[in-house]
Amino acid sequence: MPKTKAEKSKYVFLFLRILVVAVGVIWAIVWVSRGQRWSNLASIFRRMNLGVFVVTLSIFVICQVMVGFRWWLLLRTQSIFIDFWAAIRLNFLGWFYNNFMPGSVGGDLLRAWYVTKHTPKKFEAVLSVFVDRFIGLLSALIIAFFSYMLFLRGRADALTFTGRSGSFKFLAEYRQIIFLVVLVLAAGFCGLVLLRRGRVLLRAAWLYIRIHSVRAIEKLKGATLIYCSKPLTILATFGLTVFLQIITITGFWFLGKNLGITAGLKYYYVFFTLTWVLGALPVSIGGAVVVEGILAYLFIHYAGVEAELALALALCQRIVWMIASLPGAAIHLIGAHLPKDFFVDFDKPAN
C-alpha cells in the first residue's frame, strides 16, 4: 500500500532529526580530536568523583518521581483518576522514549495515548500532559529570567545581546537571508491565493481548522475553567516544579565543581534552564546535540569556562538523563505500562 503524504512527512521529519544528531556527533568528534582536547577530556572524566556523580543522578531520579506526582495531581484536577504509581511508571516510560527512541512519537504523546484509552475525557487527559509540560517550561524560563536579573544583569561578564555574539548582531549579519526567507514564504502564499487550485486548498484548510478549532476551544474552555477553579493545585504544582528544577540544577553545580568548573551557581540557573527550554524544540532526538552544544557554548563564552570542562559538564548531564531513563526501558519490557495497571473512575479497575 503506498504511503500517504502524512506518513512521508513523518519519515522526512524523523530523518532530519536523526541527521541533526549525526552531524552534531561527527562535528564534536572532529573537534575533540584536534590538539590535546581528547586527552584533556579523558583526564577530566578520570578525576571525577564517582560518588558525586551518583548523588547527582539520585537527585535527578527522585525529582523525576516527583514530576510524575505533579502530573498525577493535574490529572486528578480534571477528575481523571489513575493509580499514583501508574503515573510514575508512565512518566519514566515517556522519559525513556524522549531520550532513546528515534521515532516521531515522543514521551508526552505516549503518556497522553495511554491515558486517553482509559477515560472518556480524552481531550482533558491530553491537555493535562501539555499543561504538565507547559508548567515545566514556564518555571524554567522564570528561573532563568530572575537569576539573570538578580545575579548577572549589569555585570561585565553577564550575557549581552549587543556584543559580538549578540542576537541583534546575528540579525544584522543575516538580514538578507532572513528577508529572502520571508519573501519566499510571502510569494508562496500569494501563489496559492492567485491559483484556483491553491484557493480551493486554502478554503478546505480554513474550513477544517475552523470546525475543529471551535470544538477544541469549547473543550479547552471547560478544562481551563476547571484548572482555574482549583488555583491552589496549580500553584502547588508550579511551586513544586520550581523547587525540583532548582534542586536538580544545584546537583549539577556540585558535579561541575567536582569536574573543576569554578563558575558560580548563578550561571547554572540561567544556562541550564535556557537549554532545557530550547532542547524541547523537536529539532533532534531528545534535544541531543542541541542541548549539549548550547550549554557548552554558554559556559565557554559567558562564564569563561574551558572548552573541555564545559563539554564534560554537558556530556555528564546527557549521561545522567540516559541512565535515569533506564527504568522506563524496564517498565516497557515487563509491561508495567499496560492498561491493566491503571485504575480509573475512582475505585473501578480498568479492564
Whether residue 318 lies inside any domain: the answer is yes
- Count of residues in the chain: 351
C-alpha distances out from residue 114 to 126, 236, 286, 300, 337, Å = 10, 25, 20, 42, 8
Greater confidence (339 vs 345) lies with 339
Q: Which residues contact 233 (CB under 8 A, 6 or more apart)?
A: 73, 74, 77, 227
pLDDT in tens, 216-235: 566 566 666 667 777 788 88
Q: Which residues contact 300 (CB under 8 A, 6 or more apart)?
A: 306, 307, 310
Q: Give me the pLDDT at residue 284, please.
A: 80
Q: Give me the pLDDT at residue 273, please.
A: 94
Whether residue 42 lies inside any domain: the answer is no
Helix (H, G, I), strand (E, B) or coil at 342: coil
* Total tally of structural domains belonging to the chain: 1
Neighbours of 284 (CB within 10 A): 22
Greater confidence (337 vs 241) lies with 241
On the question of pLDDT at 166 being above 50, the answer is no
Q: Where are the alpha helices (DSSP H) in 174-306?
A: 175-194, 196-228, 231-259, 265-279, 290-302
Q: Give me the pLDDT at residue 291, please.
A: 92
C-alpha distances out from residue 243 to 91, 111, 204, 275, 340, Å = 18, 23, 47, 18, 33
Whether residue 302 lies inside any domain: the answer is yes
Helix (H, G, I), strand (E, B) or coil at 35: coil
* Nearest-angstrom CA–CA distance, 285 and 16: 10
Whether residue 66 lies inside any domain: the answer is yes
The pTM of the full predicted model, rounded to 2 decimals, is: 0.75
pLDDT in tens, 260-312: 999 999 999 999 999 999 888 777 877 888 899 999 999 999 999 999 999 99
Whether residue 81 lies inside any domain: the answer is yes
For residue 299, the enclosing domain spans 49-161+236-346
Whether residue 206 lies inside any domain: the answer is no
Q: Give the highest mean pLDDT range of 8-17, 49-58, 88-97, 172-181.
A: 49-58
Q: Give me the pLDDT at residue 336, please.
A: 66
Whether residue 75 lies inside any domain: the answer is yes
Greater confidence (61 vs 225) lies with 61
In the predicted model, what is the mean pLDDT of the chain?
79
Whether residue 80 lies inside any domain: the answer is yes
- The pLDDT of 81-96, averaged and rounded, is 87
Cβ atoms of 67 and 244 closer than 8 Å: yes
* Nearest-angstrom CA–CA distance, 288 and 23: 11
Crossing angle of the two packed helices 122-147 and 231-259, in degrees rounded to 10? 50
10 Å CB burial of residue 96 (0-12, 13-18, 19+) is buried
